[in-house]
Amino acid sequence: MKTIQAYRFALDLTPAQERAVLAHAGAARVAHNWALARVKAVMDQRAAERTYGVPDDQLTPSLGWTLPALRKAWNSAKREVAPWWPECSKEAFNTGLDALARALKNWSDSRAGKRAGRPVGFPRFTSRRRTTPSVRFTTGTIRVEPDRTHVTLPRLGRLKLHESARKLARRLDAGTARILSATVRRDGGRWHVAFCAEVERAERHPTRPHATVGVDVGITHLAVLSTGELVPNPRHLDTASRRMRRLARRLSRRVGPDRRTGQQPSNRWRHAQTRLARAHARVANLRRDGLHQLTTRLTAAYGTVVVEDLNVAGMLRNRRLARHIADAGLAELHRQLGYKTGWNGGRLLTADRWYPSSKTCSGCGTVKAKLALSEREYQCEACGLTLDRDLNAARNLAALAAQIDTAGSGPAAGRGADRQTRPGGQVAVKRQPGTATADQTGTVPPQGGTTDHTLARAH
């Protein structure tokens, strides 16, 4: 099975190397902003000409929005725009132009209704302060050194890794991976290099192909499984979260930037800001690591994993930190389960957003009208069942999988069934990227993520 996979390693850059990377990231920004200004100028010019009644064939020729076209325009102008251009790798300018080409395509697709999801705005100029410095190399010398603690990139040369690259190096040595690109980027106050690689993975099967597990992401726990297992939060997460909140309070007492008054941030604010960003990154890393261990374990064992759908609208609205973290955890859980079930030959089922997994009794099926978030125990008035709230939800999710299986295709034939209606009123809808209709016939998406169903409720 061929997959595209990323391997990310932390870097230990020397000050000179850091300056070189920042210069490349700056070059990417210059190319991006120059090309965007050109695109805008040509668009405005053509619009003005149209108002004067210039016929379409005599308008100023429009600028191509593809990467090759933008690159050609840049190459003919770079001597004037950026006389220092030979100091940076051409890949730096390519990084910025590629980002712009994709942004323009997303915008035009979105306007033409060819793109799912929320409307995409017109690309904006990037500023040094707002953007994450990053540069991507696709050609030239990109390699992991034999000592596995250094990497070599074009122009930047030999960079020291903060951790061993053995996982990628082993695959490269065995010939089961091929590096497609390398991106150097600063996130969470630390530099990383991410290798995008084409990896040949061995076929795997879950140890219990017919078993199902429901997963509910919690706040006090990392997750609750329908088997009754409470997966605890990663160690040190509480300490790290407390520290994060303390640093956030400290930041709010410092003099920050204010656009209305033109107030510049104080050095003490900048310092506090850096420390808070690092604390945030640590909390995110701890959670991600915990989720990775959980999803690897689940997809290796269970043939079917059932999770709730993401409530994207709710995620954007709710500003409470605990809820926000739980939502972010759910999004990450989805992402990891999505590709890991593909790798392990299992399947991921997603309960519809409106499926009341928390409000339904896992014993008798009664649905409560209301259940406050503060009620941690589920108590059923109909059958008297008393159960942990999250465990009840997890059991309901696991039961959903059994419902679609008995209603039609069965676990082995999970790919075929696109729409099934049952007496219970549940409809299983095959989820298609970019489409929302229930009658679409499923095709096999790349990376083997074939078995992604959404369970919707019939009216």
Sign of CA dihedral 66, 68, 69, 73: positive
| Interaction between residue 364 and Zn ion (CB under 5 A) | yes
- Of 91, 309, 332, 390, the active-site residue reads 390
Q: Could you say which of 26, 356, 363, 408 contacts Zn ion (CB under 5 A)?
A: 363
Neighbours of 158 (CB within 10 A): 11
Q: Could you say which of 1, 4, 383, 402 contacts Zn ion (CB under 5 A)?
A: 383
Which of the ranges 70-78, 103-111, 331-339, 359-367 carries the binding residues for Zn ion, by CB under 5 A? 359-367
Catalytic site includes residue 308: yes
Q: From CA 110, how far away is CA 118, in angstroms rounded?
A: 8
Burial class, 83, CB count within 10 angstroms (exposed 0-12 / middle 13-18 / buried 19+): exposed
Which of the ranges 131-139, 176-184, 310-318, 381-389 carries the binding residues for Zn ion, by CB under 5 A? 381-389
Catalytic site includes residue 12: no
Residue 380 CB, nearest approach to Zn ion (Å): 3
Catalytic site includes residue 390: yes
| Interaction between residue 361 and Zn ion (CB under 5 A) | yes
Residue 309 CB, nearest approach to Zn ion (Å): 24
Q: Could you say which of 312, 382, 413, 444 contacts Zn ion (CB under 5 A)?
A: 382
- Of 91, 308, 388, 452, the active-site residue reads 308
Query: What 3 state SS string does 244-305 have?
Result: HHHHHHHHHHCCCCECCCCECCCHHHHHHHHHHHHHHHHHHHHHHHHHHHHHHHHHHHEEEE
Could you give the angle at the alpha carbon of 286 between the alpha carbons of 117 and 375, nearest 5°? 70
Instruction: Dump the DSSP string for 88-116.
Output: S-HHHHHHHHHHHHHHHHHHHHHHTT-S-
Residue type, 427: V
| Interaction between residue 387 and Zn ion (CB under 5 A) | no
Residue 359 CB, nearest approach to Zn ion (Å): 11
| Interaction between residue 385 and Zn ion (CB under 5 A) | yes
Q: How far apart are the first and last CA of the chain?
A: 40
| Interaction between residue 367 and Zn ion (CB under 5 A) | no
Q: Could you say which of 177, 179, 298, 380 contacts Zn ion (CB under 5 A)?
A: 380
- Number of helices and strands (H, E) in the chain? 9, 17
Q: From CA 214, how far away is CA 227, in angstroms rounded?
A: 8
| Interaction between residue 257 and Zn ion (CB under 5 A) | no
Site string for Zn ion, 50-69 (x = CB under 5 A): --------------------
Which residues participate in catalysis according to the annotation? Answer: 216, 308, 390
Residues near Zn ion, by CB under 5 A: 361, 363-364, 366, 380, 382-383, 385
